[in-house]
Structure 1
Amino acid sequence: MKDILSNLSTVKRRITNTCEKTGRNSSDVKLLLATKTVAADKIEIALAQGETLIGENKVQELKEKFETLQTIPHQTHFIGHLQSNKIKEVLKYVDCIQSVDRISLVNKLQKRLDFEDKTIDVFIQVNTSYENSKFGIEPKKALDFALKLKAYERINIKGLMTIGLFSADNEKVRNCFRMLKNIQYQMLDKGIPSQELSMGMSGDLETAIEEGSTMIRVGTAIFGKRHYPDSYYWNETK
């Protein structure tokens, strides 16, 4: 518990310091707890400190933690690759899907939402690093995709999401975030509601905030190193 509280304080200080450096208000940057593989009791500790956003990557974990966390006020975002056959289950547990990246998924999502008479908030995931190992729509196709998505009345576009390049070259990472910001400008110019930019994680949150992030997704820096390889989170085939 002490480690989580200390780590949370450190992350909040990193956010505040970066915002002060760049002339931004720290209240404009939301902290989403990336809680994949994190036990529900540990998540409870962070939520008890006033945090209100968590992000999960897998449907099974959503189900396992739901009962424990449902009495604590918070919102749950799905931040992993969403397979079409998991839409029904995901909609039971989340307030927002941050990984919408293809029309085939949108069509099935709309159909399920029609059936349930519901709406859902979404972020468009953009593959700004151009890595085959990452999901997300190609940057050059993002605006056209958003224009099509805007016509789906059950789906509310809230913003854009990306995963920065995993690189020690900070400028290459920065370019990913800057690209997403430029796409946001294009979308806003076309009247597409995309005020949120979900970008930046434990290792690159400062760079993301400098480039305009409004939501950072932090797990390891708060809950500690995970005992799972990256393939655990991104193992679905495209």
Structure 2
Amino acid sequence: MTEATDARALLADRLAAVRARVDAACAASGRPRGSVRVLLATKTVDAARVRLALEADRAAVDADPSLAPVLVGENRVQELVAKGPDLADLAPTTHLIGPLQSNKVNAALRWVSCVESVASPDLAARLSDRCTDRPAPLDVLVQVNVSGEETKHGVPLGDAAALAVDVAALPGLRLAGFMTVGLRSPDADAVGAGYAALAALRDDVLRSGEPGTAEARTLSMGMSGDLEVAVAHGATLVRVGSAVFGARPQP
């Protein structure tokens, strides 16, 4: 076997293990299999390894058509732009999951179908300006800092509903839901409380009846270490990196 074949097989095994964890978490929560999508967080992962993971996933989906293909999530626009051409033939569905500066909006929009990190009216307005003439609206998630940690990106929980309503009314955008990065803590109950707060926020916005909020169902929350907690609290999308690609190199 070649080195690439070995690497693809390892990634396939890890992807299968992640899917098994998600399925088990869904079953434990009384949720149907397939109700949670998997997004590969590919920060610092080179395009060649991302390609191998996507090829392994495509083989798994071909073998079991009930599986939804994985999504790809990039944190940094510069990585998104650098890897995009090398992965274009595979046509992955790619989300931006990191902060987006206004001067990088055009570069990001070439490659993504969803921006998960909308945390200000200014960014939402800039995206709307760029997307008004697109054939289909851009999916966006409002990123919420449920933990209140100063190191975390996102709008404060108390301001999130108002921002979501404002975003939902903008032309060229579709408010698809909410995203958060959970509390960094070994206390599963404390982590879960943040995820429960995001789910409650989502439900409040859906019930509001405000224009453009009816499709805001996505809850992007949970990562490699806490995806079970997130699924138990209603996650519809989990972002996994190290569980598939291994520990990220330290700077």
Same-fold status (TM-score > 0.5): yes
Distance 1:223 1:170 in 2: 24
Matches within 5 A, 1:180-219: 180-191=198-209, 192=213, 193-219=215-241
Matched residue SS, 1:70: helix
Which amino acid counterpart does residue 218 of structure 2 have in structure 1? E
Q: CA deviation at 1:118?
A: 6.1
Matches within 5 A, 1:73-112: 73-112=91-130
Q: What do the CA deviations read for 1:26-52 (whole angstroms, capped 9, x no partner)? A: 211000000111111211222122334
Specify which of 30, 42, 47 is matched with residue 37 of structure 2. 30
Q: What do the CA deviations read for 1:46-99 (whole angstroms, capped 9, x no partner)? A: 212233410001111111111111111320000001111111111111110000
Matched residue SS, 1:178: helix
Distance 1:67 1:108 in 2: 25
Aligned to 2:19: 12
Which amino acid counterpart does residue 242 of structure 2 have in structure 1? T
Distance 1:126 1:96 in 2: 16
Q: What do the CA deviations read for 1:134-174 (whole angstroms, capped 9, x no partner)? A: 11111111111111112101111001000000101111100
Aligned to 2:143: 125
1:171 aligns with 2:178: no
Matched residue SS, 2:155: coil
Number of residues paired by the alignment? 229
Asked if the contact 1:52–1:73 (Cα under 8 Å) also holds between the matched residues in 2, the reply is: no
Which amino acid counterpart does residue 203 of structure 2 have in structure 1? Y
The unaligned stretches of length 5 or more in structure 1 are 230-238
Distance 2:249 2:97 in 1: 19
1:149 aligns with 2:167: yes
C-alpha RMSD over aligned residues: 1.4
TM-score, scaled to structure 1? 0.92
1:140 aligns with 2:147: no
Matched residue SS, 2:24: helix
Identity of aligned residues (%): 38
Asked if the contact 1:197–1:212 (Cα under 8 Å) also holds between the matched residues in 2, the reply is: yes
Which amino acid counterpart does residue 153 of structure 2 have in structure 1? F
Q: What do the CA deviations read for 1:186-235 (whole angstroms, capped 9, x no partner)? A: 00101312111000000000000000000000000100001135xxxxxx
1:159 aligns with 2:177: yes
Q: CA deviation at 1:113?
A: 2.2
Distance 2:136 2:107 in 1: 14
Matched residue SS, 2:165: helix
Q: CA deviation at 1:115?
A: 6.5
TM-score, scaled to structure 2? 0.87
Q: What do the CA deviations read for 1:93-140 (whole angstroms, capped 9, x no partner)? A: 111000001001112222222476763110010000101101111111
The unaligned stretches of length 5 or more in structure 2 are 1-6, 59-68
Asked if the contact 2:36–2:236 (Cα under 8 Å) also holds between the matched residues in 1, the reply is: yes
Distance 1:138 1:75 in 2: 28
Distance 1:210 1:115 in 2: 39
Matched residue SS, 1:226: coil
1:72 aligns with 2:94: no
Asked if the contact 1:7–1:222 (Cα under 8 Å) also holds between the matched residues in 2, the reply is: yes
